[in-house]
Chains A and B, each alone.
Chain A
Amino acid sequence: MSALLETEALTVRFGGILANADISIGVNEGEILGLIGPNGAGKSTLFNLVAGTYRPTSGRIRFEGRDITRLPPAVRCKLGVARTFQVVKSFETMSVLENVVVGALVRFTSTRTAREEAYRVLDVTGLTRRAEANARDLTPPEKRRLEVARALATQPKLLLLDEVLTGLTPAEAQKGVELVRKIRELGVTVVMVEHVMEVVMPLVDRAIVLDLGRVLAQGAPQAIVRDPKVIQAYLGDRFHA
C-alpha cells in the first residue's frame, strides 16, 4: 500500500502554544486510520492542518506525492481531500438533497447529474427518506450523517471525519461504524479523529496516538491499547504545560 497522504515535520504554533510539534505521519491508501489522544493532544489541529483550515508554521503535507501545504481548502477538495466538521455546519435553509448537491457540484457541472449523484450518496448514507426535508429540521444524528454525505458527494480519495461518532447512543454509533466501513468499501481512505475508544478501536486498521502535540505511538489498535506510554498518557500522572 502506498502512502496517500504524508506529513513531514509538521509544526504549528498558536501564539505561545506549540499545538503540533514535528509530526511526520503517513496515511495508507484504503485504510481506516484512527487519530486519537487525550484532550488537548493536538488531534483537531492536525486534522485542520490536513484539511487546509490552518497553515503550519513549518513542515510539509503531501497528498498523492504532491505538496499541498500552501493550498486552500477548496483546492484540496478538488484534489480529493474532504472533511466533516465537528460542530455540524449544514446549509440550514436548503434541503438535505440540495446540501449534498453542493458537494457533488465539484465533480459534476450539470445540476441534473449532480442531483443524481446526490441521490446515490443519500442512499449510501441512509438519508433518502429525508431528501426533501429542510436541513434545519433534521435530528442531530441525521445532521451528522448529512455532514458525511455532503463530503462524500465530492468523491474524495481521502475523507477526514471529525468526531462523527462522539455523543451518539450505542445503536447510532453502531450504524455509524457500518457507514464508515461502507465508505471504505467504496474505495475511500478514511481518517477519523475520535474519543470513543470502544467504538473506534474495533473499526480502524491502524491508530496514531497524539499527546501534547507529538506522535506518541502508532500501530495496530490491539498493540496501541496495551502500550504503556499510551495508557499513561490517558490515565497516569502527567506534567501539564
Chain B
Amino acid sequence: MASAFETRRRNQLIIAAAVVAVMIALPLGVKDVYVQNILVLTVMYAALSQAWNILSGYCGQISLGHALYFGIGAYASTLLFVKFGIIPWFGMAAGGIFAAAIALLVGWPCFRLGGHYFTIATIVLAEIGLILFLNWSYAGEASGLQIPVSGDSWLTFTFLRSKLPYYYFALGLAAVVWLVTYFIEDSKWGYYWRAVRENTMAAQSLGVQVFRSKMAAAALSAFFTAIGGSFYAQFVSYIDPDSVMVFQFSLLMALPAVIGGIGTLWGPPLGAAILIPFTELTRSYMGGGGKGTDLIFYGAVIMIIALARPEGLLSLVTRTRHAPP
C-alpha cells in the first residue's frame, strides 16, 4: 500500500530531474540575448511564484503584497554591496532572513485577519514599503541604486558578456524552491497548511496550531521571494522602488501559480513556462507603437484561462486531486 504512494513521489523526482536536465541543456544553443533574457525571467518567475505558492497556495493565505519581500531582498543585497562592499551571496542570505523576519513581524497582527481583509493588508504593507523606499535618500529614493558591473565574476555575481550564469543560478533557485515544496507536500507542515486553508476551525479541533502554521508559511515564502529579489538586482544591475516594489509586480508573482495551478507542486513552473514567454512575445510583437494591442490580447488570455480553467492549466496535463471530476 505504501509503495503506490512512494512510487508517485519517486516519479515526481524523476520528472523533475528530467525537466532540470532539459532546462540545463536548453540555452546552450541560444545565442540571441533577447531569448536568453526570456529564459532567465521564466525561471526566475517560476522560483518566485513557487515561493508565493507556499503561503498563498498551500496555506491559503492570499498575499498580493509579496513585492515587499522581493524589494527587501533586492535592496538588502544591493545596499550591502554598494555601500559596504559585502558580496551579494551574503547579501542574499541577509536579505532572505530579514524578509522572513518582516514577514513574522507583520504576520503577527495580520494573521488574525480573514480572507479579503488579510489580502488588502498585504497590499497595504507593500505600498507602505514602496512609499518608504521612494522617500529614503540613503537608498536613492526614486532613482534607486546602480550596481557597478566591471566584468564577469562569480564572486560579485555580476556578468557582462553572457546571461547564462544568471540563468543557471535562477534555475538552481527554482529547483531549490521546487524541492522545498516537494518536501512540504509530504510533511507535517504541508498537511497542516492545507488543513488551515480548507477549514481553520476543523484544523484547530485536530490539534493544528493555526497561527503558528501561518507564520511558518509566511516566513518561508518571504525568505525565498527575497532571494529572488536579490538575484534580480544582480541580473539587471539597477533597482528602483517602481520596478521591485509595485503592486503590479505582486500580481505578476502570483499569476503563474494561478494560471498553472495554485496549491500544486507543478503549477507555478508550468504557469511560468507558459506565461512569461507569452508575455514577452506579445509585448515584442504587438506592443510596438504604444497601441495597447498587446495588453488587450494579454489581458484577454488571462481572463479566458482564469475563467475556463480556474484550477489551473496543470489539470489539463494531469488529473490532480484538486481538479473537479
Interface residues of A, Cβ cutoff 8 Å to B: 51, 53, 72-74, 77-78, 82-83, 85, 89-95, 98, 101-103, 105-106, 109, 111-112, 114-115, 119, 134, 137, 150-151, 153-154
> In the complex, which residue of chain B has the Cβ closest to the Cβ of A98?
B191
Q: CA A72 – CA B322 in complex, angstroms? A: 31
Closest-CB distance, A55 to chain B (whole angstroms): 14
Q: CA A78 – CA B186 in complex, angstroms? A: 22
User: Which A residues are in CB contact (< 8 Å) with B187?
Assistant: 111
Query: Are A134 and B205 in contact (CB-based, < 8 A)?
Result: no
Given contact pairs A77-B207, A102-B206, a sample of 14 additional A-B residue pairs in the complex whose CB atoms are under 8 Å apart: A74-B207, A83-B205, A85-B202, A85-B205, A90-B198, A91-B194, A91-B195, A93-B198, A98-B194, A102-B208, A105-B188, A106-B208, A115-B5, A154-B207
Contact of B209 among A53, A74, A94 (CB under 8 A): A74
Closest-CB distance, A9 to chain B (whole angstroms): 25
Question: What's the count of A-B pairs with C-beta under 8 Å?
Answer: 84
Interface residues of B, Cβ cutoff 8 Å to A: 1-2, 5, 186-188, 191-192, 194-195, 198-199, 201-210, 263, 321-322, 325
User: Which 10 A-B pairs rank lowest in CB-CB distance, beginning with the nearest?
Assistant: A106-B207, A77-B207, A89-B202, A91-B198, A73-B204, A89-B199, A102-B195, A103-B206, A74-B204, A74-B209
Query: Are A94 and B206 in contact (CB-based, < 8 A)?
Result: no
Query: Are A92 and B191 in contact (CB-based, < 8 A)?
Result: no
> In the complex, which residue of chain A has the Cβ closest to the Cβ of B186?
A111
Query: Are A137 and B202 in contact (CB-based, < 8 A)?
Result: no
Query: Are B321 and A134 in contact (CB-based, < 8 A)?
Result: yes
Query: Are B188 and A74 in contact (CB-based, < 8 A)?
Result: no
Candidate in A109, A111, A114, A153 with the most chain B CB atoms within 10 angstroms:
A111
User: Which B residues are in CB contact (< 8 Å) with A98?
Assistant: 191, 194
Contact of A85 among B2, B188, B191, B201 (CB under 8 A): B201
Q: CA A72 – CA B204 in complex, angstroms? A: 8
Q: CA A115 – CA B195 in complex, angstroms? A: 16
Q: CA A51 – CA B202 in complex, angstroms? A: 12
User: Which B residues are in CB contact (< 8 Å) with A119?
Assistant: 1
User: Which B residues are in CB contact (< 8 Å) with A94?
Assistant: 194-195, 198, 321
Query: Are B206 and A150 in contact (CB-based, < 8 A)?
Result: yes
Q: CA A42 – CA B286 in complex, angstroms? A: 67
User: Which B residues are in CB contact (< 8 Å) with A154?
Assistant: 206-207
Candidate in A73, A77, A82, A153 with the most chain B CB atoms within 10 angstroms:
A73
6 pairs, A vs B, C-beta closer than 8 Å: A91-B195, A91-B198, A93-B194, A94-B194, A94-B198, A111-B191
Query: Are B192 and A102 in contact (CB-based, < 8 A)?
Result: yes
User: Which B residues are in CB contact (< 8 Å) with A93?
Assistant: 194, 198, 263, 321-322
User: Which A residues are in CB contact (< 8 Å) with B322?
Assistant: 93
> In the complex, which residue of chain A has the Cβ closest to the Cβ of B194?
A94
> In the complex, which residue of chain A has the Cβ closest to the Cβ of B320?
A93
Q: CA A83 – CA B5 in complex, angstroms? A: 29
Query: Are A77 and B321 in contact (CB-based, < 8 A)?
Result: no
Query: Are B206 and A115 in contact (CB-based, < 8 A)?
Result: no
Query: Are B188 and A111 in contact (CB-based, < 8 A)?
Result: yes
> In the complex, which residue of chain B has the Cβ closest to the Cβ of A81?
B205
Query: Are B321 and A95 in contact (CB-based, < 8 A)?
Result: yes
User: Which B residues are in CB contact (< 8 Å) with A85?
Assistant: 201-202, 205
User: Which B residues are in CB contact (< 8 Å) with A78?
Assistant: 207
Closest-CB distance, A75 to chain B (whole angstroms): 8
Contact of B198 among A53, A74, A92, A115 (CB under 8 A): A92
User: Which B residues are in CB contact (< 8 Å) with A109?
Assistant: 188
Closest-CB distance, B138 to chain A (whole angstroms): 44
Q: CA A62 – CA B191 in complex, angstroms? A: 31
> In the complex, which residue of chain B has the Cβ closest to the Cβ of A53?
B201
User: Which B residues are in CB contact (< 8 Å) with A92?
Assistant: 198
